[in-house]
């Protein structure tokens, strides 16, 4: 059996270091906004090459606080994509703003800059690109559009820890970058956690106030805030894992290259595009297939875990129908949702396991192409 992901392998590899880090927090008895959070904020900001990191309770909170810190709220519009996790849109609405969907590029599956300007209105206040699956969105044209129209650029980098666009890591291109440390992320904790990053000292100070009720000092609020703080235990665990992140990313990239080389000759599977200047970190390795559902069944029959990220675009989900005009509203996002499949890929996947996945996809391709053959025990139709 090859599971999609098993976090116990990571735990086993780092157990002594993580146990010591957690014990240190428990021994000190300081659990909220203490030395571990302060150190992790500095270390993660340094890793990204930005001036400020502000730890918060989740990636969703990071997005919500980023919008609110930029003064975005009721009556404002925020441009983003329909093929993201619901959390992206939920955060916009939690800030009081209105999400506006724009379709994605067919190759990268990231926000299509050529379609953005047509969606801008007098109410538009920000563009929120998602670095989907760990592949950076094209930031240069989006920044140019933002400057032209006086819009904030807020990066959803929740799947893209360490990804690079040109010579910079994502999270440092826009006004604010937003990260999640959910356990399955490339840098994940033992629960929820998030980070907001910025080079703007005024925004950084505002964010620090907003994450704790707007307190300038205890029990004295100078602006409206909320309770959204990264705790000491999570920060201590994340500090340990951050030391290994570049090594883990290199392993992800090596596995991705192994997959892509093997899949490039298949007629039923399309590997993810690689683009010059886009440093993909492969939070997910996502192939496309016109026969996606049968491929997933084929892999499941061989005990190979595969998932769909994400099966239903936001505008086709029941609470969000008003964000589109039904099927066909955003054809590239909708087509991708019918074709995408995430294969097992993580730093603890062995070469032998990767080769089993490769062999299964090659067998599927052969079964589909064989004239008069059978598929999953049934005549091929």
- What whole-number distance in Å separates Cα of residue 204 and Cα of residue 134? 25
C-alpha dihedral (317, 323, 328, 334), degrees to nearest 10: -50
Other Cβ atoms within 10 Å of 17 Cβ, number: 16
What pLDDT digit, counting tens, does each position of 295-337 carry? Answer: 999 999 999 999 999 999 999 999 999 999 999 999 999 999 9
Confidence class for position 369, pLDDT limits 50, 70, 90: confident
Mean pLDDT of the chain: 96
Confidence class for position 373, pLDDT limits 50, 70, 90: low
Nearest to 305 by CA among 1, 4, 9: 4
- Could you give phi then psi for residue 235, rounded to 5 degrees? -60, -40
Enumerate the domain spans of the chain. 7-103+110-242, 245-379
Q: Which fold has domain 7-103+110-242?
A: 3.40.640
pLDDT at position 381 is 41
Where do the H-state alpha helices sit in 217-311? Answer: 232-242, 245-263, 292-301
Q: Which residues pair with 179 in a beta bridge?
A: 195
What pLDDT digit, counting tens, does each position of 267-303 carry? Answer: 999 999 988 889 999 999 999 999 999 999 999 999 9
Long-range contacts of range 147-151, CB-CB < 8 Å, 24 or more positions apart? 149/117, 149/120, 149/124, 151/120, 151/124, 151/125, 151/126, 151/127
**CA 148 distance to own-chain centroid:** 27
What pLDDT digit, counting tens, does each position of 155-193 carry? Answer: 999 999 999 999 999 999 999 999 999 999 999 999 999
Read off the pLDDT of each residue in 106-131 and give the average, rounded to a whole number. 98
Structure tokens at 68: 């609110």
Q: Tokens 């440092």 belong to which residue?
A: 172
pLDDT at position 380 is 46
Structure tokens at 108: 């990268």
Distances from the Cα of 20 to the Cα of 15, 25, 53, angstroms: 8, 9, 24
Confidence class for position 372, pLDDT limits 50, 70, 90: low
pLDDT at 244 over 80: yes
pLDDT at 375 over 70: no
- What whole-number distance in Å separates Cα of residue 226 and Cα of residue 210? 6
Other Cβ atoms within 10 Å of 141 Cβ, number: 14
CB-count burial class (<10 Å; 0-12, 13-18, 19+) for 373: exposed
pLDDT at 216 over 60: yes
- What whole-number distance in Å separates Cα of residue 16 and Cα of residue 334? 45
**Are the CB atoms for 151 and 125 separated by under 8 Å?**
yes
Query: According to CATH, what is the number of the domain 245-379?
Result: 3.90.1150.10
For residue 69, give the 3-state DSSP assignment.
Answer: helix
């Amino acid at each position: 059996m090859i599971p999609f992901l098993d976090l116990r392998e990571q735990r086993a590899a780092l157990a002594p270091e993580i146990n010591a880090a957690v014990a240190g927090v428990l021994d000190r008895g300081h659990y909220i906004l203490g030395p571990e959070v302060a150190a992790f904020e500095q270390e993660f900001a340094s890793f990204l090459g930005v001036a400020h990191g502000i730890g918060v309770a989740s990636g969703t909170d990071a997005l919500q606080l980023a919008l609110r810190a930029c003064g975005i709220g009721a009556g404002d519009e925020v441009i983003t994509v329909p093929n993201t996790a619901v959390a992206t849109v939920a955060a916009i609405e939690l800030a009081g703003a209105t999400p506006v969907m724009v379709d994605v590029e067919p190759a990268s599956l990231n926000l299509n800059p050529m379609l953005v300007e047509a969606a801008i209105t007098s109410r538009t206040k920000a563009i929120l690109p998602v670095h989907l699956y760990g592949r950076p969105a094209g930031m240069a044209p989006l920044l140019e559009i933002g400057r032209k129209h006086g819009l904030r650029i807020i990066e959803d980098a929740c799947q893209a820890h360490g990804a690079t666009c040109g010579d910079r890591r994502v999270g440092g291109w826009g006004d604010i970058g937003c990260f999640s440390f959910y356990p399955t992320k490339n840098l994940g904790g033992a629960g929820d956690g998030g980070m907001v990053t910025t080079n703007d000292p005024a925004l950084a100070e505002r964010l620090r106030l907003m994450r704790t009720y707007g307190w300038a000092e205890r029990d004295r609020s100078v602006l409206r805030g909320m309770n959204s703080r990264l705790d000491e235990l999570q920060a201590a665990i994340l500090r340990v894992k951050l030391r290994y992140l570049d090594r883990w990313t290199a392993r992800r990239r090596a596995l991705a290259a192994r997959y892509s080389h093997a899949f490039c000759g298949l007629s039923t599977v399309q590997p993810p595009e690689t683009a010059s200047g886009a440093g993909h970190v492969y939070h997910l390795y996502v192939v496309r297939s016109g026969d996606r559902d049968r491929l997933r069944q084929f892999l499941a029959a061989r005990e190979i875990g595969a998932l769909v990220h994400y099966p239903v675009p936001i505008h086709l989900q029941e609470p969000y129908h008003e964000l589109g005009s039904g099927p066909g509203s955003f054809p590239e996002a909708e087509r991708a949702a019918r074709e995408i499949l995430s294969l097992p890929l993580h730093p603890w996947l062995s070469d032998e396991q990767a080769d089993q996945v490769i062999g299964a996809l090659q067998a599927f391709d052969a079964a589909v192409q064989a004239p008069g053959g059978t598929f999953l025990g049934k005549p091929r139709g």
